[in-house]
Chains A and B, each alone.
Chain A
Amino acid sequence: MTPSPAPRMPAIGLLLSSLLIVGGPASAQSPEDHSTPPALLAAACANCHGSDGRGAWPIASIAGRPYTELLRQLTAYRNGESLDDATVMPRLMAGYSATEIETLARWFSSLPVTPETAAETTP
């Protein structure tokens, strides 16, 4: 039932573009920050959460979840808290900066929840 990834890309590109801009002034870089493109940063999450943030149970689907919720969760992981039965996430998020976590939260909150939503945006 997986639709071709191709139709999803326009939606991602669209959202990505918004990330680049929204990230603007707020993302002044601290010394620990890196300049990895958001798309590449987010690609590191796909190994477990799926190419477009739709994980297979019981790994969470993160596409389209509210930004504030994702930010709160990822930040908690980064601070070493284990929420919602997570096992690996605190160990992984400890390797990311606060700015990167904001970027990831924006990225995944912007993705469509279902492939059907994405397909609708296909030109």
Chain B
Amino acid sequence: MTRTPIDRRQALRWLGGAGAASLLAACGGRAPEASAGTGNTASRGARVVVIGGGFGGATAARYLKRLDPGLHVTLLEPAERFYTCPFTNLYLGGLREFESLGHDYQQLRRLGVNVVHALAEDVDPVGHSVTLAGGERLPYDRLILSPGIDIRWDALEGYDRAAAELAPHAWKAGAQTHRLKRQLEAMEDGGTFVLVAPANPFRCPPGPYERVSQIAHYFKTHKPRSKILLLDAKDAFSKQGLFMDGWRELYGDMIEWVGLSGDGRVVRVDADRLEVETEFGTLHRADVLNVVPPQRAGFIAERAGVTDASGWVPVNPRDFSSAQVEDVYVIGDATEAAPMPKSGFCANAQGKVVAFAAAASLAGDPAPEPVWANTCYSVIGPDYGITVAGVYRVIDGQIAEVPGSGGVSPRGADAGFRRREARYAAAWYQAICEDTWGTVV
């Protein structure tokens, strides 16, 4: 406790709005005192533009502003109210109201983030500016892209924008989600719901499997003679054993899963007939058809020149800066961050790491040593949750799961364990939304 006076000086400096440097200093690393002043002056007034107001972008903007109130942070997001993909499956299952998944930007504004509801159309990485749909140009010192995913409309025969009106993907929350919900509600008892799942990588690896779980819950309570067929372009999926246990326990034989080697890969969609054809020519007819198609990074990533031939974004592991373009950071589903999954949780975790990295960079300091955590909750039934968790660090220059950490919920756990994970899922949603948008659900 002899160091209290230094402690007090630190605190007073912070209370005076001294900036981010004291927060950037490592525990046991370089003395925070030494850098507090420089960090402040170097970054004061610097302009950070964030594109995308989802889990990644909103978190980055919020933490940048919390770290250093002197930064000029602009968040570009077309939607005035952002609806999360996480928990849309619970809406489809009837466990959640759609409006409870919407979040506005008032709390970010109160924090001093300049929230602009406009579409970013182009990026000039040399001139360091972003062009909005209206033609306005915004200059930046650092750019953070959190563009999410775009559907690859050319990747699956017969599945284009028009087809998605008949056979929704519902892989972005909004009109597509409502369309699928209406179709499920209109379907006769005894009908067949078919979900087409893509090969890796794609947004939300457990998503298709939680979705069929939730639709099975809806069928069980409203249309118990109905069937669910899941046609999959791969032979293994996230939390597979746990999902299959849950399906059997809660829904008997309602859900049939056909993997790649069982001829589950769909190669053609006929949306007019609600019919799909698999690799070996089997035709499957649906009453409601949900196609989760192949994806790539949101288009602005390509405009910024940060994507590679895969359509996704390679990043430097330590700070999620673009591997291709200077002064640009990329986070969330758009990135190649495996083994981290494309989850809202990871986007939020990456948003924080990037906030710290960008603030450090503006102060002329190296990015701090990152650590990321992830927990993907999936809700199979109202009292039945499962999880996969992971802690990630940079090991030998690559993002890697920390050996001995993480993993899935135990197989064969009792009903109490599953019930707790379902309750924790709801509390997690509330916490991560507060952490991202400052909103309370």
Contacts and interface: CB of A to CB of B under 8 A. Distances in A.
A17 B371 contact: no
B66 A88 contact: no
Interface residues of B, number: 67
Interface string B4-48: 001100110011000000111111110010000000000000000
A37 B35 CA distance: 14
A17 B27 contact: no
A4 B405 contact: no
Contact of A37 (B7, B25, B401): B25
A44 B372 contact: yes
What range describes how many residues of A lie at the interface? 35 or more
Contacts of A91: 389, 405-407
A66 interface: no
A95 B373 CA distance: 9
B424 A59 contact: yes
A10 B25 contact: no
A95 B407 CA distance: 11
Interface string B109-127: 0111000000000000000
Contact of A87 (B23, B63, B348, B409): B409
A58 B402 contact: no
Contacts of A48: 375, 424, 427-428, 431-432
User: A6, A18, A48 — which one has the most chain B CB atoms within 10 A of its CB?
Assistant: A48
Nearest to B372: A44
A87 B438 contact: no
B7 A35 contact: no
Contact of B405 (A1, A34, A36, A94): A94
Interface in A18-61: 18-24, 27-29, 33-41, 43-51, 55-59
Contacts of B29: 35, 37
Contact of B27 (A6, A36, A45, A123): A36
B117 to A, nearest CB: 21
Contact of A6 (B22, B24, B110, B430): B110
A92 B375 contact: yes
B27 A87 contact: no
B373 A47 contact: yes
Interface in B347-406: 348-349, 352-353, 356, 368-373, 375, 387, 389-393, 401-402, 404-406
20 contacts: A2-B434, A2-B440, A4-B110, A16-B14, A36-B370, A37-B24, A38-B27, A44-B373, A47-B432, A48-B428, A50-B431, A50-B435, A51-B435, A59-B424, A85-B420, A88-B421, A91-B406, A94-B391, A95-B392, A95-B406
Interface of A: 1-2, 4-6, 9-10, 13-14, 16-24, 27-29, 33-41, 43-51, 55-59, 85, 87-88, 91-96, 99, 103, 123
Given A5-B111, A43-B352, 19 more contacts: A4-B438, A13-B11, A13-B14, A13-B22, A17-B14, A18-B10, A21-B7, A35-B27, A39-B67, A43-B63, A47-B431, A47-B435, A48-B427, A51-B434, A55-B431, A88-B387, A91-B406, A92-B389, A96-B371
